[in-house]
C-alpha cells in the first residue's frame, strides 16, 4: 500500500503538474492547486503543510480507511474520496471553504462531522457499504449546520426508510434518493411541499413508486419541481395535473356537503 506524502507528490505528480528541475520541493508544493492522485493504491494520507493552495483533491478509487491530516486544506473547495474504505466522516474542520464533497461507495454509517464546512453546497454519499440491516444515519448538528447552504444531496442506495430528517434543508434544490426502502408516499408529499427550492428529485426504485398516482401526487404539491425520476415535468403536464387536482378537490367538497343537504331535506319533510 501507498501513503500520500509530500515526497510522493513531488516525485509522481502527473503531466502538467510536474515539478521543474530547478524548483525546490517546498516551492513546488506551495503552488499546487489541484492534486490528481486517484487510483494509486493509496491507503493513508500524511500531513501536507506546504500544500496550502490546494483547491481540488482527487483521491477516489484508492484504499483509504481514514480521513485525516486535512488541517492544512483551508482553501480546499472540492474533495473526491469516493470508492475507498472510509468508515467515519471526520477531520474536515480545517476545510471551511469546502463546497463539494464526494464520499460515495465507502463504509460510512453516519453523515456527520461537517459543522465547520459552512460553504458546503453539494454532498454525494451514495451506496455506502453498510452492515446488513443497517441504514445511513444523519447527525442532527451536521444537518442543522447544512440547512442554509446544502443545495444538492445524493443518498441513493443506503437502505433509507424515511427522509423526514432532511426536512430542515431549506436550500435543497436536488435530491437523489433512489434504490432505498422508502414506502411512505404521504411523508414524501409533505416534505416536497416544504422544500421551496427543490427542482430535481429522484426517488425511483423505492417501494412507494408502485403506489397509485405516485408521480402525479408528487408533481401537484410543488411548483418548482422540474425533473422527477429522470423525467422532465413539462408545463402542460403540470397544468393538466393541477386542473385534475382542483377538479378532484371540488368533487370531494360536493360529496362532503351532500349528506348535509339530505339531512335538511329529511327535516323539511318531517316538518311538513
Local confidence pLDDT in tens for the 272 residues of the chain: 899 999 999 888 776 778 888 888 899 999 999 999 999 999 999 999 889 999 999 999 999 999 999 999 999 999 999 999 999 999 999 999 999 999 999 999 999 999 999 999 999 999 999 999 999 999 999 999 999 999 999 999 999 999 999 999 999 999 999 999 999 999 999 999 999 999 999 999 999 999 999 999 999 988 899 999 999 998 878 877 777 766 666 677 777 776 655 555 545 555 55
* Beta strand pairing call for 227-228 and 231-232: antiparallel
pLDDT of residue 39: 96
Virtual torsion, Cα 247, 253, 255, 259, nearest 10 deg: -170
Cell numbers 513546488: residue: 28
Please state, in angstroms and rounded to a whole number, the distance separating the CA atoms of residues 60 and 126: 14
CATH number at residue 176: 3.80.10.10
Domain count, the chain: 1
- Which candidate, 174, 164, 219, places its Cα nearest to that of 201? 174
Please state, in angstroms and rounded to a whole number, the distance separating the CA atoms of residues 81 and 64: 8
Task: Tell me which residue range forms the domain holding 145.
Answer: 2-271
Please state, in angstroms and rounded to a whole number, the distance separating the CA atoms of residues 40 and 208: 41
- Which candidate, 85, 122, 104, places its Cα nearest to that of 1? 85
- Which candidate, 28, 32, 84, 81, places its Cα nearest to that of 53? 32
Core vs surface per residue 138-165: b (16+ CB within 10 A) or e: bbeebbebbeebbbbbbbbbbebeebee
Q: For 145-196, write each residue's pLDDT tens digit.
A: 999 999 999 999 999 999 999 999 999 999 999 999 999 999 999 999 999 9
Amino acid at each position: 500500500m501507498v501513503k500520500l506524502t509530500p515526497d510522493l507528490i513531488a516525485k509522481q505528480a502527473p503531466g502538467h503538474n510536474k515539478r521543474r528541475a530547478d524548483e525546490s520541493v517546498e516551492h513546488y508544493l506551495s503552488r499546487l492547486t489541484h492534486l490528481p492522485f486517484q487510483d494509486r493504491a493509496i491507503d493513508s494520507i500524511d500531513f501536507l503543510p506546504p500544500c496550502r493552495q490546494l483547491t481540488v483533491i482527487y483521491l477516489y478509487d484508492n484504499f483509504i480507511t481514514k480521513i485525516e491530516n486535512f488541517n492544512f486544506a483551508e482553501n480546499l473547495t472540492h474533495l473526491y474520496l469516493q470508492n475507498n474504505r472510509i468508515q467515519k466522516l471526520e477531520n474536515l474542520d480545517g476545510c471551511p471553504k469546502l463546497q463539494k464533497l464526494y464520499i460515495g461507495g465507502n463504509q460510512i454509517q453516519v453523515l456527520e462531522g461537517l459543522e465547520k464546512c459552512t460553504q458546503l453546497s453539494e454532498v454525494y454519499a451514495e451506496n455506502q457499504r453498510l452492515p446488513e440491516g443497517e441504514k445511513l444515519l444523519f447527525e442532527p448538528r451536521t444537518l442543522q449546520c447544512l440547512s442554509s447552504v446544502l443545495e444538492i444531496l445524493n443518498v441513493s442506495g443506503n437502505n433509507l426508510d424515511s427522509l423526514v430528517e432532511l426536512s430542515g434543508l431549506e436550500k435543497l434544490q436536488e435530491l437523489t434518493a433512489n434504490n432505498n426502502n422508502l414506502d411512505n408516499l404521504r411523508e414524501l408529499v409533505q416534505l416536497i411541499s416544504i422544500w421551496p427550492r427543490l427542482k430535481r428529485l429522484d426517488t425511483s426504485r423505492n417501494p412507494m413508486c408502485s403506489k397509485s398516482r405516485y408521480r402525479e401526487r408528487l408533481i401537484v404539491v410543488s411548483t418548482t419541481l422540474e425533473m422527477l425520476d429522470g423525467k422532465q415535468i413539462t408545463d402542460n403536464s403540470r397544468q393538466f395535473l393541477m386542473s385534475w387536482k382542483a377538479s378532484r378537490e371540488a368533487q370531494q367538497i360536493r360529496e362532503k356537503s351532500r349528506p348535509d343537504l339530505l339531512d335538511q331535506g329529511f327535516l323539511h319533510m318531517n316538518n311538513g
